[in-house]
Amino acid sequence: MGCQQSLQGSDVSKVRTIYLNEPIRNNFCKNSISTAKYSIWSFLPRYLYLQFSKAANAFFLFITILQQIPDVSPTGKYTTLLPLMIILTISGIKEIVEDYKRHMADRLVNTKNTIVFRENEWQVIMWKEVKVGDIVKASNGQFLPADMVLISSSEPEATCYVATSNLDGETNLKIRQALLETAEMQTEQLSSLSGKIECEGPNRHFNTFIGTLYLNGKSPVAVGPDQVLLRGTQLKNTRWILGIVVYTGSETKFMQNSIKLPLKRSTVEKVTNVQILVLFLLLLAMSLVSCVGAILWKEGHGGDIWYIGTKDYSSHSLGFDILVFIILYHNLIPVSLLVTLEIVKYIQALFINWDEDMHYEGNNVYAMARTSNLNEELGQVKYLFSDKTGTLTCNIMTLKKCTIAGIIYGNLSNRSDTVLDNLSASPSAITESGGFNDPTLLQNFENGHPTRDYIKEFLTLLCVCHTVVPERDGGNTTYQASSPDEAALVKGMKKLGFVFTTRTPSSVTINAMGENFTFEILNILEFSSNRKRMSVIVRTPTGKLRLYCKGADTVIYERLSDDSLFVKETLTHLEYFAKEGLRTLCIAYTDLTEKQYQQWLMEYKKASTVIQDRRQSLEECYDHIEKEFLLLGATAIEDHLQARVPETITTLLNANIKIWVLTGDKQETAINIAYSCKLLSTKMPCIRLNSNSLEATQQAVNQNCQDLGVLLGEENDLALIIDGETLKYAFHPEVKRSFVNLALSCRAVLCCRLSPLQKAEIVDVVKKHVGAITLAIGDGANDVGMIQMAHVGVGISGNEGMQATNNSDFAIAQFSYLEKLLLVHGAWNYFRVTKCILYCFYKNVVLYVIELWFAFVNGFSGQIIFERWCIGLYNVVFWFQCTNALVHSFILFWLPMKMLEHDMVLQGGYTTDYLFLGNFIYTYVVVTVCLKAGLETLSWNKFNHLAIWGSIIIWLVFFAIYSFLWPTIPVAPEMTGQVSVVLLCPHFWLGFFIVPIVCLILNLLWTSIRNTCNGTFLEEVRKMERGRVQELHLPTAFEKSVKTEHLRLPLSSQLHKVVFQDESVDRSAPRGYAFSQLEQGVITQEELIRSYDATKIKTSESL
């Protein structure tokens, strides 16, 4: 009834009612989801908005409109419209192709199959057909298609395990339990199920749910988050479950946590828009100069130009003349730029897709550029935000090493490159090749080593002290565990000959080297983050009372008996394990007397019945008996990294890319992974912000900023670690700026226990505060927000959950592929795109400023020197470049002009005209800009030769054909016969060689002098490639950059002199403690495992 009151107190409009077995009355949103940019109906308006938000396209639309005004355009009505239509069509086709791929990816998700109960029978339907109110059946290993309320399960107590790492990043499994009123439901009862569920409306909170189940003829029952299974979670260790769908599609909690898909534009595109606006201002200046020139010309030559037949200037408006000159010079802005970039970027995307170095053979997945608009952004990334679970790690844990009685075992299993290659192939390879591998342990046990008894007790403890449940399937035994650490330990013991075989409600049985031993389980002292340990009290086969415990070194060591041995040795080994990034647990035990146990048991029963603060009372009770431990040793579990993660992170850090790890997992786990992947070092001080109030957070942040002093804002060899709860206070307006400054002063930042929206918020804050290019990479649904928020989003593909991939800009199968994606493809794309833009500006300024020079000799009449369609087709086939282009345009006009200054008589008595000069100049421009492209080319191949020499030949062939089109085709009558007179003129061929050489000789000399006297590192590498030199000789420029880097080091090296006043700074060596286990579940761990009886054979019953 409490839930009902909560519902009534909430916004009534958000309360929804779901009727059971009455589909007609349940009218809610569909279960299909879409990550595409366009639909059939939204494509045209949204695409046109995107295109005309680009300055160049908007400008050419403006020119096209002006050209339709009668007697204004000197270049015709359609010379701009046609190229613009071609550009929009090509860009539209590219957008359609890319969005079609997104629709196909969405289709893979929406067309997955699931089983629902409809019309009194089970039916197989697609995910997109699931509706609110459906009863869904899911089997072990399946992902859930919608948010649903659990009503029944195959497991005892109607429980089930779900993996939520796809939503919150946590590696431990969660337990959900159905209501007792529905726990026994089978197929026969489903058809008669009637009633309704009232619950809160859709929201983004994963850990909350308020609802009430009304079954006809029964009292209302409260439904909470412990009965809810969310879309995107995976059913684990459970044969089947039944659930009633409550939220579908965009109303699921997963989709509620996603942000609106932004329309991303690259930084280069934004800069290009600014440059185009500057060129537009230049165009206006040229138009005004021409208008002034026209006035002055007519005033000075008005009586001498009667043959032109111009009207008095008084009849002309200044605005009309400006429009004429704007249209005349409008091609100064390259209409071809955008379509050229579209084609270049599309080909670059194909290169990414085809790269065999980013081909993951494990599941035959290639890298995929889901959009080509952001290719060049990859080469400018300064901040990288990475998820942990499934992105840096493989979600697989194995026992790697251990220390028993002061002796370390497992050194023989150090990683090698060969093993790493095997590990990256498949999860099974990790299990087989990456586990504990040291025969010395069993040799010491079997050969009567002095530590034999310690070894036996150590292995026995790990087989008994856990919450794992064994299941037999024929001759095989599989283990169900909510804790991946416990599963790894039990499997590791099995490999060593100590096999956990049977669990009953009151005992566990192990097989130690072929001999069975049964331990009576008296009590389970549950794990919690505050306790950092878990214990079991058992009666051994010999009748002794013994307490086994495993936990963090800090809590175990303070409870050790004075008689405990190997304390210093074990501590040294723990530090060694931590340096390798392994997850450590200390192992200890103590013997109890009957009197001690009975006294404690009375205290325990009393604490179990306390009404207020029962959990705290139980933990205090546990503490009274967990003492006087005898240390046995410690374990070291490896949370397997993906292949080459440490090397990739080191390379990216060396490339001056800052890396932040954003995870929903526990802090200890994130820290261990950070050490394992070399993001953190043991000598690096760590600022840990774990505060429960705004005042405490503000004080810690301000104190650390004050302690850093002048080092604030510099990159220091310092790590910042913060949890999601503290982050809420850190983003308060009073603290936000100081916190961001502190975070940006650290070499590494780890943010733990974050919600999906917090991940996106961090990316957004850094993006706005720094103004640098950001990249986010992840593999789960909880990473979608930050992937969408970052300038560039990268999804890890190949996993069953495709939400991250479907919302990303680029998809790769392994984190290590980022190295080539950013440092090779990204750098090359950025370099090539910027060069392409500058070259487009250059070639247009070269050709169209010639019109300005021609205006000086044609009386500023608005006459064009080139044939109008040649002007438009020139484009269809920054400041240094523009200055260079102005010089070239000057040479290209005035040299041919002076060459033909005194006119000439051709064969047959024909004289030359303005178009004769124009064709001279146009040909020289084509040759010059093509050769200029050759000078800018760094790598020559057959395609470069085809493009450069082919362009020149194509123009000459086109010129020849175009001169004979009229009158067969009524186009360009003034061009008739031009090829005959131009190509036969000796002046033309003389200028064909001289003019381009005069234009480019200075560029060639400058490039040669620069590369000889002050060559870049790139030039040195190119020389090595040409000479096949194996030894690297650093050029002067690179040596200078290295020296500069060294000069910066002393500032950061002053960090050791900084005295941190705040207790949040930890300079101690890490011990590596980490343990994942379900806390505060719907039922306690003790209740859960006491409900299992492995002696009873489970049938594979089906519904």
717 is in an annotated binding site: no
Q: Bridge-partner residues for 381, per DSSP? A: 773
779 is in an annotated binding site: yes
Classify burial at 408, counting beta carbons within 10 Å of its beta carbon; exposed 0-12, middle 13-18, buried 19 or more.
buried
Which H/E stretch holds residue 632? strand 630-641
Does 389 carry a binding-site annotation?
yes
Check if the beta carbon of residue 176 is closer than 8 Å to that of residue 159: yes
Identify which of 508, 536, 512 has the alpha carbon closest to the alpha carbon of residue 592. Answer: 536
340 appears as a binding residue in the annotation: no
**Is 663 annotated as ligand-binding?**
yes
Give, as one character, the DSSP assignment of residue 812.
E
Determine contact, residues 399/492, Cβ cutoff 8 Å.
Answer: yes
807 annotated among ligand-binding-site residues: no
Q: Are 479 and 500 in contact (CB under 8 A)?
A: yes
102 is known to lie in a ligand binding site: no
How deeply is 893 buried, as exposed, middle or buried, from its count of CB atoms within 10 A (0-12, 13-18, 19+)?
buried
Burial of residue 511, with CB atoms counted within 10 A of its CB: 0-12 exposed, 13-18 middle, 19 or more buried: middle
DSSP 161-227: EEE-HHHH---S-EEEE--TTTTT--HHHHTT--EEEEEPPP-S-TT---EEEEETTS--EEE-GGG
Angle subtended at Cα 150 by Cα 144 and Cα 232, rounded to the nearest 5 degrees: 20
- β-bridge mates for residue 152, sequence order: 242
| C-alpha span between 455 and 518 (Å, rounded) | 18
Is 253 annotated in a binding site? The answer is no
In single-letter form, the type of residue at position 416 comes to S
Helix and strand counts by DSSP (H, E) for the chain: 38, 34
Burial of 703 (0-12, 13-18, 19+ CB in 10 A): middle
The Cα 105–Cα 102 span in angstroms is 5
- Two tokens, residue 18: 């779901």
Return the amino acid letter for 711: L
Long-range contacts, 1006-1014 (Cβ 8 Å, 24+): 1007/935
Cα dist from 739 to 288, 386, 670, 728, whole Å? 53, 20, 20, 11
The answer to the question of whether 387 is labelled as a binding residue is yes
Indicate which residues carry an active-site annotation: 387
Q: How far apart are CA 136 and CA 130, in angstroms?
A: 9
Sign, CA torsion 927/933/937/943: negative
Residue 809 is labelled as binding a ligand: no
739 is annotated as contributing to ligand binding: no
Q: Cβ distance 490 to 1089 under 8 Å?
A: no
What is the C-alpha separation between 994 and 988, in angstroms, rounded? 10
Residues of each annotated binding site for Mg(2+): 387, 389, 779, 783
Can you say which residues are annotated as belonging to the binding site for ATP? 387-389, 486, 527, 550, 583, 663-665, 753, 759, 782-783
Residues making up the binding site: 387-389, 486, 527, 550, 583, 663-665, 753, 759, 779, 782-783
